[in-house]
A and B are shown apart, each in its own frame.
Chain A
Amino acid sequence: MIRAGSRTAAAKGVPFSASPVLAVKLPVWRSRLVLFVLFSAFAALAGRALYLQGISTEFLQKQGESRYARTIELPATRGKIMDRNGHVLASSMPVKAIWAIPDDVLQAPADKLRELARLLDMDERDLRKKLDSDRNFVYLKRQVEQDIADKIVKLGIPGIQTRKEYKRFYPEGEVMAHVVGFTNVEDAGQEGMELAFQKSLAGVTGSRRVIKDRLGRIVEDIESVREPHDGKDLTLSIDSKIQYIAFTQLKEAIERYRAKAGGVVVLDARTGEILALANLPTYNPNNRAVLTGAQLRNRVLTDTFEPGSTMKPFPVAWALETKRVVPATTYQTAPGRMTIGSATIGDAHAHGLLTVSQIIQKSSNIGTAKIALQMPPQEMWELFTTVGFGQQPKLGFPGAVAGRVRPHKSWRPIEQATMSYGHGISVSLIQLARAYTIFARDGELIPLSFQKLDQAPAGQQVISAQTARQMRAMLETVVSPEGTAPKAQVPGYRVGGKTATAHKLAGGRYVNQYVSSFVGLAPMSDPRVIIAVMVDEPIGAHYGGEVAAPVFAAVAANVLRAMNVPPDSSVTDIIIPKDAVQESL
C-alpha cells in the first residue's frame, strides 16, 4: 500500500525535498569512491594524452607519415654529345634493369619461366642457375629495352621487379668510337669525351617528399623539391660528315695495304678545332662484348712514333727564319752518304746539288742534316718544344701523351742530324698536325680544341709570316710530279704537305717494318684544313707518298667539297709519274 501510495505521490508532483528517497541514509564512503574513480579515469585520460602529444609525438608522426608520404627519386638524364652541326653522337634512353627475389620467382610455373628466359634472351638453364642463390636480390639482366621490360612485367611472375636506369646509344658507332668513347652500365664515362667530360655530362639526381592518395596519385609536396639537374649537352668540334670521310678513306687504305693500324686527324686551320679524328682498328661502342686493347687505343693521341721526314720542314723553317739560308741556297747532297762522327747517314738516291726548296721536295736527309747542323742544338730544341713536341697536349683528352724530345745538352752532332729528319724523337700524330699550323697560319701556332668554338683562340707567333709563306711554297712542290708525293694532288685545289716513311723500332733496333705518314695543308692559297695521316706497318708498299698521300688526297678532296671551299686551281687533271721520287728513310 505504501509503495502504491508513494508512486501516486511522485506522479502527482510531490516536492523534491519531500521525496522519500532522500530519507535513505547511505554511507559517505560510497560517494567518495565514485568521485575518486571518476577523477582517476580523467587523470588516466590526461596522462595518456600527455604521453601521445608530448612524449611520443615524433615517433607517432613518423609512423603516420610513413603511411602516406613517399620519397620519390627524380632521375637526371646524362647530357647528349653532339657534333658541330647538332647531329647526336651519344644519347641516353631510359631502360629497365630486371631483378628478382629468387625464392619467389622459383615458385612460378615452368612455362612462365621459359617465357621469361626467352624474353631476356637467355638460356633457361642459365636463368635457373642465376636464381639458385641464397641472396634475396639478383640482377637478371640490365639495360633491357622498355618494350621488352613491359612484356616481362605482363607475365606477372611474383618476385620479378624492374628498376629504371639509362642506356647510352651511339648512332655513329665505330666511326666515332675513339672520340666519343663510352660509358659503363652505371652511366659513368669510361673512355674518350665521355670520360673527359664526365663531370658536366653527368646529371645530379633530385628527390621530393610527397603525399600519395589511396590510388597512388601524388596529391601534395610536403617538403620543397630538390630539383634534378640534367647533365649538360656537349657540342664537339667534330663534323660527322668529315669524320665519316676520313674514316672510310683510312679504312680503304688499311685494307689495301693490310696494315696493322692507322690514324687520321683533320684540323680546321683557322680555329684549331679538330674536325675529324679516326683510328683503326676500332670497335662498336653499342656492342662491346669483345674488346681488345688494340681496338680501344686512340692512336692519334696516345701512340707516339718516330715521325721521320715530316719533321724536316721545322729545322728548315728555322734556318730560313734566322736568315741562315734562303730557299735558293744550294747544298751538295752527293754521293748520297754522309759521315758524322762514327755514323753514316744516307739518302735513298744520290740527288747531287739541291736547293733548300728541293731538299724538302725530294726529302733529302743529307740536305736537312747539313742545314740543321748550322744551328746550335739549343735553338732546334727550343723550336721543337715551342711547337709542342715533347709537351703534354692541352686537350683535356684522357691518355694524350707528350712524346719524347731529349734535352739538347745531351745531343751529339749525329743525333742532332738524325733528329732534323725525325729520328731519335717521338711524337703523336696530333702533335704533328698541330705543329703544322705554323705553316698554315702564317707562322702562328694555335691551341687545339675538341669543343666547338665561337671564335678562333689567340695564337703564338713562332716564325714570321714570310717564312711560313716560303715554307708553303716548298710544301706545294712536294706534291708536284717531281716531288715525293704526286699522289697527294687534288683536282681543282692547290695542296701541299710532307711525306714520311720511318722504320719502326723493335727492341732498340730498326726493323723492316714501317710507319708511312703524310701531313698536308689545303688549299694552299689560304689553308683551311690540316690533314695528318698515319698508316702503321703497311704491306706491299711502304713509302709515305705511296700509302699515306693518296689517303690525304681523297680526304682533302671530299673535305674541301663538304666545307664549300671554292677551288683555287684550274687544274683538274692530275699527272702522276710512273716512278715517283722515293724519299729517304
Chain B
Amino acid sequence: MSGRINLVLTAALVLCALSLVNAQYQARRLFIELERAQAAAKQLDIEWAQLQLDQSTLGKHARIEANARRDLKMMPVTPARTQYLTVGER
C-alpha cells in the first residue's frame, strides 16, 4: 500500500520538477522576446524622430520657396489678384 503511494508521489514530484523547468524556460524565452520587442520599439522611436527631422529639413520654408520660385516658376499671390469669398454671401 505504502509502496504504491510512494510511486504516485514520486511521479507527481518528477512531473512538478519538469513543469518548473519548462515554466522557467518559457519565462526566459518570453522575456527575451519582450526584450527584442522593446529594442524594436526603441529603434522605431529613433527612426520616427529621424523621419520627423527629415520632414522638417525637407519641409523647410526656405527650400519650399526656392523650389516654388525656381523650379515651378510660382509667384506669391497679392490681394489685387485674389478673389475673396465669404461664407453665406451670394
Contacts and interface: CB of A to CB of B under 8 A. Distances in A.
A169 B31 contact: no
B79 interface: yes
Nearest to A571: B79
A172 B56 contact: yes
Given A491-B80, A492-B78, A561-B77, A87 B59 contact: yes
Contacts of B35: 217-218
A567 B56 contact: no
B31 A219 contact: yes
Contacts of B80: 491-492, 572-573
Interface stretch (A44-52, A88-96, A501-509): A88-96
Interface in A467-522: 491-493
A363 B82 CA distance: 35
A219 B78 contact: no
A567 B84 contact: yes
B46 interface: yes
B60 A220 contact: no
B52 A493 contact: no
Given A491-B79, A572-B80, A220 B56 contact: no
Contacts of A573: 80
Contacts of B76: 558, 561
A240 interface: yes
B57 interface: yes
A381 to B, nearest CB: 43
A493 B76 CA distance: 16
A144 interface: no
B50 interface: yes
A93 B61 contact: no
A240 B60 CA distance: 8
B84 A171 contact: no
A175 B49 contact: no
A77 B60 CA distance: 24
Contact of A220 (B28, B53, B61, B78): B28
Contacts of B46: 93-94
A491 B82 CA distance: 12
Contact of A244 (B32, B45, B61): B61
Interface in B39-69: 45-46, 49-50, 52-53, 55-57, 59-62, 65
B53 A219 contact: no
Given A89-B56, A91-B49, A561-B77, A175 B31 contact: no
Nearest to A241: B61
Interface in A550-565: 557-558, 561
A150 to B, nearest CB: 14
A170 B5 CA distance: 76
Interface residues of B, number: 27
Contact of A492 (B27, B61, B79): B79
A87 B78 contact: no
B52 A88 contact: yes
Contacts of B55: 88
A229 B84 CA distance: 50
Nearest to A561: B77
A224 to B, nearest CB: 15
Interface in A278-319: none
Contacts of A558: 76
Contact of A171 (B28, B57, B79): B57
A80 B49 contact: yes
A171 B56 contact: yes
Contacts of B78: 491-492, 557, 572
Name the prevailing secondary structure of the A interface residues. Answer: mixed
A172 B65 CA distance: 14
A220 B52 contact: no
Contacts of A219: 28, 31-32
Contacts of A80: 49, 52
B79 A567 contact: yes
B74 to A, nearest CB: 14
A5 interface: no
Interface string A211-222: 001000111100
Contacts of A567: 79, 82, 84
Given A175-B62, A491-B79, A566-B84, A91 B53 contact: yes
A172 B84 CA distance: 33
A566 B55 CA distance: 30
Contacts of B84: 566-567
A88 B28 contact: no
B60 A171 contact: yes
Contacts of A572: 78-80
A94 B82 CA distance: 47
Contacts of B82: 492, 567
Contact of A93 (B31, B50, B60): B50
Contacts of A169: 53
Interface centre among A89, A93, A573 (most CB of B within 10 A): A93
A491 B32 CA distance: 66
Interface string B17-43: 000000000011001100100000000
Interface string A81-114: 0000001110111100000000000000000000
A248 B76 CA distance: 15
Nearest to B28: A219
A117 to B, nearest CB: 28
Contact of B32 (A89, A92, A171, A217): A217
A219 B42 CA distance: 19
Given A218-B31, A492-B78, A572-B78, A93 B62 contact: no
Nearest to B54: A171
B53 A240 contact: no
Given A566-B86, A572-B78, 12 more contacts: A77-B49, A88-B52, A91-B49, A175-B62, A217-B35, A218-B35, A219-B32, A491-B78, A493-B79, A558-B76, A561-B77, A567-B84
18 contacts: A77-B49, A80-B52, A88-B53, A88-B55, A91-B49, A93-B46, A93-B49, A94-B46, A171-B57, A218-B31, A218-B32, A219-B31, A241-B61, A491-B78, A492-B78, A566-B86, A567-B79, A567-B84
Give the 6 A-B residue pairs with the shortest CB-CB distance, closest first: A492-B79, A572-B80, A244-B61, A171-B56, A88-B56, A171-B57
